[in-house]
Chains A and B, each alone.
Chain A
């Protein structure tokens, strides 16, 4: 793998992350991150959709007149989202139910169309495919970090397993209590803010003047 192609894969993980640098896909990262499991599934679904929509659009890029390209993109992305939705329903039904409309709403996720418009239409299929995987992974990584904080502090568990022992809770005679505000979307936005804060204090070149 040439190093230039590899860069398409690694850049979106940190320096050009879709959520915390390009600020795309914020809504779904607030909506599906109450628990870790749906967040991981959602991240992987978006990764599959971005990767294959990038690949397909890159293959079609010379044959599609630019006037109708949005319609074509929508058809491709919608078809992929329906495929992902069906697979989720078949294999992880409970998670699919938890995610409810948000799987269908991947089609409106700005990352998918943003990468197709900004990258796949100007680049070769292999590079586009890697770019899609990279952006999907970058999105999934942020989702996992947010969900980790929210599930641990909001419900005291991870992936559904209890981390904070029952005996520590006030109801059982302990002193601890779950932080209920973590279950509300506004707190997810504050966590995204904290991640951006930490990320930019390490990557000084990203700081706005």
Chain B
């Protein structure tokens, strides 16, 4: 640890003002604050002051994603007929190139943009870079992952001013771009199964995901317990509701994500699903909707994004509830897309600032009225 600190201190003058490589100051600063907690404190503005900087906060989210990641690897192997450690190894070999691609492309763009603007490299894409591979189907070609990441970082983040200024969640945007750009590779019956015959994987089985089966046949071939534990086909991270709940517990115990958003997404989704069920829109139990597809994953890791979600307390309840409700609405009413979570999160990302605005306005009006009555 000490040796590393010494190296960093020795290099520092080269990258500071007047040094030979001064134009790379942001990049150096990015690496330094990645390795060591910075000693700078926020000087002005209405910030919450805390001993943690943004990188340390974001790493908690990455830790919370680890259960999903590990189980996703295992399940990917299970789905091609492997067992035990080989199954896990198979999934790991499939996802590692995707993770590497998304980090290299995303961080490359992020560092370049911060350098050009002379900004400090902050959150530095740590969470989005891991979320993107986790929401992609197993067989997505690497170059599509790279293109989706680049689109999301440039048009979702950098054009709005970089970290903290983005209107849309970059990970959902990457998934939406790839989904609409390469629909044949992203949906349909064959994509969820791998075509790599490694470690003795059986020939690609074809079959619809649980969500598609529910939408077309009104039932699924897996039990609710399988769907809860995650032994169903789907994107890497989204299948196991149990692993997602472990992640949610980590996020809530450390106070990184807002429980208000998370709970109201589930409440909104459940209420809408039961409403549809009560009117006889489907025959299976309504709670299936919370177990299959990307609902739980989106609710825990994406709807709670501190930048794109609502900032006010009341706003969080409203945005969360509507995110869940619209997701189920799209699943039930729109025949073109079996999964509604991605679109509903993006839609509520766009509406969140408006809802915040009216919440703040209403608060101001209430307090003004209070002053009037006192007079």
Q: Determine if B180 and A181 form an interchain contact, defined as CB atoms under 8 angstroms apart.
A: yes
Q: Does A184 contact B (CB under 8 A)?
A: yes
Q: Which of A43-51, A101-109, A172-180 contacts B (4 or more CB under 8 A)?
A: A172-180
**CB within 8 Å of B: which A126-160 residues:** none
Closest to B154 in A: A194
Q: Does A87 contact B (CB under 8 A)?
A: no
Residues of B with C-beta under 8 A to A181: 177, 180-181
Q: A170-B185, A190-B155 are in contact. Are A180 and B180 (CB under 8 A)?
A: yes
Q: Determine if A175 and B182 form an interchain contact, defined as CB atoms under 8 angstroms apart.
A: no
Q: How far is the CA of A182 from the CA of B151 in the complex (A)?
A: 13
Q: Does B337 contact A (CB under 8 A)?
A: no
Q: How far is the CA of A88 from the CA of B180 in the complex (A)?
A: 34
Q: How far is the CA of A179 from the CA of B143 in the complex (A)?
A: 12
* Cβ contacts A159-200/B at 8 Å (1 or 0 each): 000000000001000010101111010000010010001000
Residues of A with C-beta under 8 A to B182: 177, 179-180
Number of chain A interface residues as a range = 10 to 19
Chain A CB count within 10 A is highest, among B177, B180, B185, for B180
Closest to A176 in B: B143
Q: Determine if A175 and B141 form an interchain contact, defined as CB atoms under 8 angstroms apart.
A: yes
Q: Determine if B177 and A177 form an interchain contact, defined as CB atoms under 8 angstroms apart.
A: no
Dominant secondary structure of chain A at its interface with chain B = helix
Q: A170-B185, A190-B155 are in contact. Are A175 and B143 (CB under 8 A)?
A: yes
Q: Determine if B143 and A180 form an interchain contact, defined as CB atoms under 8 angstroms apart.
A: no
Residues of B with C-beta under 8 A to A175: 141, 143
Q: Determine if A177 and B180 form an interchain contact, defined as CB atoms under 8 angstroms apart.
A: no
Q: Does B221 contact A (CB under 8 A)?
A: no
Q: Does B118 contact A (CB under 8 A)?
A: no
Q: A175-B141, A190-B155 are in contact. Are A184 and B180 (CB under 8 A)?
A: yes
* Cβ contacts B295-317/A at 8 Å (1 or 0 each): 00000000000000000000000
Q: Determine if A177 and B155 form an interchain contact, defined as CB atoms under 8 angstroms apart.
A: no
Q: How far is the CA of A202 from the CA of B149 in the complex (A)?
A: 27
A108 to chain B, nearest CB (A): 28
Residues of A with C-beta under 8 A to B141: 175, 177
Q: How far is the CA of A190 from the CA of B154 in the complex (A)?
A: 11
B98 to chain A, nearest CB (A): 15
* Cβ contacts B123-164/A at 8 Å (1 or 0 each): 000000000000000000101100100000001000100000
Q: Determine if A179 and B181 form an interchain contact, defined as CB atoms under 8 angstroms apart.
A: yes
Residues of A with C-beta under 8 A to B181: 179-182
Residues of A with C-beta under 8 A to B363: none
Residues of A with C-beta under 8 A to B177: 181
Residues of A with C-beta under 8 A to B206: none
Closest to B183 in A: A180
Residues of B with C-beta under 8 A to A197: 159
Q: How far is the CA of A46 from the CA of B177 in the complex (A)?
A: 33
Residues of B with C-beta under 8 A to A190: 155
Closest to B142 in A: A175
Q: Does B184 contact A (CB under 8 A)?
A: yes
Residues of A with C-beta under 8 A to B147: 179
Q: How far is the CA of A184 from the CA of B181 in the complex (A)?
A: 9
Q: How far is the CA of A175 from the CA of B184 in the complex (A)?
A: 13
Residues of B with C-beta under 8 A to A177: 141, 144, 182, 184-185
Chain A CB count within 10 A is highest, among B143, B155, B181, B184, for B181
Q: How far is the CA of A153 from the CA of B238 in the complex (A)?
A: 31
Closest to B155 in A: A190
A164 to chain B, nearest CB (A): 14
A12 to chain B, nearest CB (A): 26
* Cβ contacts B61-73/A at 8 Å (1 or 0 each): 0000000000000
**CB within 8 Å of A: which B103-132 residues:** none
Closest to A184 in B: B180
B350 to chain A, nearest CB (A): 13
B157 to chain A, nearest CB (A): 14
Q: How far is the CA of A85 from the CA of B155 in the complex (A)?
A: 38
Closest to A186 in B: B180
**CB within 8 Å of A: which B167-187 residues:** 177, 180-185
Closest to A171 in B: B184
A209 to chain B, nearest CB (A): 16
Q: Which B residues lie at the A interface, using CB under 8 A?
A: 141, 143-144, 147, 155, 159, 177, 180-185
Q: Which A residues lie at the B interface, using CB under 8 A?
A: 170, 175, 177, 179-182, 184, 190, 193, 197
24 residue pairs from A and B, CB less than 8 Å apart = A170-B184, A170-B185, A175-B141, A175-B143, A177-B141, A177-B144, A177-B182, A177-B184, A177-B185, A179-B147, A179-B181, A179-B182, A180-B180, A180-B181, A180-B182, A180-B183, A181-B177, A181-B180, A181-B181, A182-B181, A184-B180, A190-B155, A193-B159, A197-B159
